[in-house]
Structure 1
């Protein structure tokens, strides 16, 4: 009598690598879905979320100043926090006023240069390799004028949208100021409250990781200020040597644009090249362009490793991907926030991996001992009295 063939188990037939790949796949899918809904919730309160993140960045820059003021001015913590915030606002307001004043002083000269440049372009289109006729240029100008006239409703709705955007900007500015003040004044208490949102067993590790991430964020922001100052002063000196109008204002714009890696310096540098081209021609524009390229190389090979190496360890490819992703998702604001957020997450994850899951006696962070019960305290006090 022949034996029955052994039963085959389909689960046992699946190889171990395939099982591992399947386990990773469904877990990654769940994480991806969670991140998607988290991003949707973030976009729902986009204005509030971005305002609070910007407040965190301002706090990271102003925190050392607030600590020094707290040592100098004993008393309520509101005073040093308010003074640090006022100093930061004064610096930003001074920068804005200076740029506006420079543009106002040179607006007539720039207008004449733009008009002359348009005339040169028009003459080149007629006499250059394209050989466009004057009638074709007039027709093109008429089409642009008709497009503006036929889209007055669109322009008006755009103006209304601009007014709404200004109102949202003012609301966001107020939220940033309030958040920065309270973070400067009550930052430690807010952090302790945040820790209590997590399980008690995770408090120690979260505390270590959060503080490491905060130090990284502060180091990045302060290091970026130094790099931006170097860029702005260098370009301003080059523009002054070439006697380009708005040299100081363009230097300030270079300083502000340098806070957005890769993109900021390129955009503001292109503006400087355009102004140099309008004022002194192609040679001056080439000199400014070469200076900006040299600055980009200095930042990549000297400034970033020297200034940022102690606090930020992010690969240049990660920086490029973060900037492109942030720009795609949230425009200029996303590009501004992308790299510091990546640096914060990078240091936080490393700290979580390197911190032991349970605090031990010789750990790097303090371990609070639980107080003895009331009965033991009474016995101890009685024995002490004896």
Structure 2
């Protein structure tokens, strides 16, 4: 009785705050446990995420083949082969250009480094030749210390290769049996919650598809604009730099800076300060067009994520899982936001989003 009177003596606001804090701690603990388990099997986690992203990308190919009355396995195989041929073709073209221009680029690199060295030593900065040599030697030694040993590099390469093969394996079966997989998951959900969870899952998949298609379109526009500028200016390795720009576009904000810096550096080394400034102007123009036109038009209407949310997501993803985390951070947040929006609604909206695998057989 005394304990009950003591409990009643606690202000109701404090009891409510304690209950909320306990719930938050419970949720935080559950989230931490899930993240911990996912990190324990990082290779598997990244393979599954990559397979989902690739499924959203190449599912239209599989769906088109299915409309030609091809079997499900043939449609899935066509999507997989389309992806592999696109990657292999781009790498082959880029490698051929690198091999053809490597000798010319090596001479340009040597001359460019000498020009940069002379400008630094003889310029307005109070740096002597010996100080510059010491700085360069220190950077080289630091890079060597930071580089992994051969055994660690071989282990990482093996893990990446295994994760790549697993993601391709999962991609094939997601294209082939995606709807069946989702139906099996839905049968595990209680009947009274099935409609809302099904709507939430379809909405999340729709957000993922919108993100993948939107970011691919933006990457193509960026790569085409910067690649055309590199060709017109006469910068070596225009095709590899264009491919780098396309890949870097999948990392919001950070990727554009890295790809642009690489293009400017190669332009400076090969053609001097004028070419570097021209490339820098082209990169800034393309990036401004992307941020003020393409991003709001293509991504803003589909994801409804504020730029601050995007920046925080990319930063958190890169801190947790490096480059891979930076790539998947935005789609994960977009899907989570869409799913949470549907689950928090009073009534599930009509299922208008595409199914889990648009390669589903038409009925």
Partner of 2:30: 34
TM-score using structure 2 length: 0.88
- Taking the aligned partners of 1:86 and 1:199, their CA distance within structure 2 comes to 38
Q: Which structure 1 residue ranges, 5 or more long, are not aligned?
A: 1-6, 358-362, 367-386
The structure-2 alpha-carbon separation of the partners of 1:51 and 1:15, relative to structure 1 and needing over 3 Å to count, comes to: same
- Taking the aligned partners of 1:200 and 1:173, their CA distance within structure 2 comes to 37
By how many angstroms is 1:133 displaced?
A: 4.6
Aligned to 1:67, which of 58, 63, 66? 63
SS in structure 1 opposite 2:149? Answer: helix
Establish whether residue 364 from structure 1 lines up as the match of residue 355 from structure 2: no
Aligned to 1:46, which of 27, 42, 45? 42
Corresponding residue pairs, total:
348
**Which structure has the larger Rg?**
1
The structure-2 alpha-carbon separation of the partners of 1:143 and 1:321, relative to structure 1 and needing over 3 Å to count, comes to: closer
Establish whether residue 200 from structure 1 lines up as the match of residue 195 from structure 2: no
- Taking the aligned partners of 1:216 and 1:328, their CA distance within structure 2 comes to 24
Aligned to 1:119, which of 114, 117, 124? 114
By how many angstroms is 1:244 displaced?
A: 1.0
Partner of 1:95: 90
By how many angstroms is 1:131 displaced?
A: 4.5
- Taking the aligned partners of 1:321 and 1:233, their CA distance within structure 2 comes to 28
Contact 1:319 1:339 in 2 (8 A): yes
- Taking the aligned partners of 2:337 and 2:59, their CA distance within structure 1 comes to 22
Contact 2:112 2:270 in 1 (8 A): no
Q: Deviations over 1:74-122 (max 9, x none)?
A: 3x31011101110111111111222222222221222222222322333
Establish whether residue 110 from structure 1 lines up as the match of residue 96 from structure 2: no
The structure-2 alpha-carbon separation of the partners of 1:36 and 1:246, relative to structure 1 and needing over 3 Å to count, comes to: same
- Taking the aligned partners of 1:212 and 1:137, their CA distance within structure 2 comes to 57
Contact 1:274 1:285 in 2 (8 A): yes
Partner of 2:356: none
- Taking the aligned partners of 2:138 and 2:194, their CA distance within structure 1 comes to 66
By how many angstroms is 1:306 displaced?
A: 1.5
Partner of 1:376: none
Aligned to 1:22, which of 18, 23, 29? 18
Partner of 2:328: 337
Aligned to 1:238, which of 229, 233, 239? 229
By how many angstroms is 1:41 displaced?
A: 0.5
Identify the structure with bigger relative contact order (alpha carbons < 8 Å, sequence gap 6+): 2
Establish whether residue 183 from structure 1 lines up as the match of residue 178 from structure 2: no
CA RMSD of aligned residues (A): 2.6
- Taking the aligned partners of 1:62 and 1:133, their CA distance within structure 2 comes to 54
Contact 1:95 1:252 in 2 (8 A): yes
The structure-2 alpha-carbon separation of the partners of 1:102 and 1:16, relative to structure 1 and needing over 3 Å to count, comes to: farther
TM-score using structure 1 length: 0.83
SS in structure 2 opposite 1:314? Answer: coil
Establish whether residue 292 from structure 1 lines up as the match of residue 283 from structure 2: yes
Q: Which structure 2 residue ranges, 5 or more long, are not aligned?
A: 353-363
The structure-2 alpha-carbon separation of the partners of 1:8 and 1:87, relative to structure 1 and needing over 3 Å to count, comes to: closer
Partner of 1:271: 262
The structure-2 alpha-carbon separation of the partners of 1:127 and 1:206, relative to structure 1 and needing over 3 Å to count, comes to: same
By how many angstroms is 1:338 displaced?
A: 0.4
The structure-2 alpha-carbon separation of the partners of 1:55 and 1:19, relative to structure 1 and needing over 3 Å to count, comes to: same
Contact 1:254 1:269 in 2 (8 A): yes
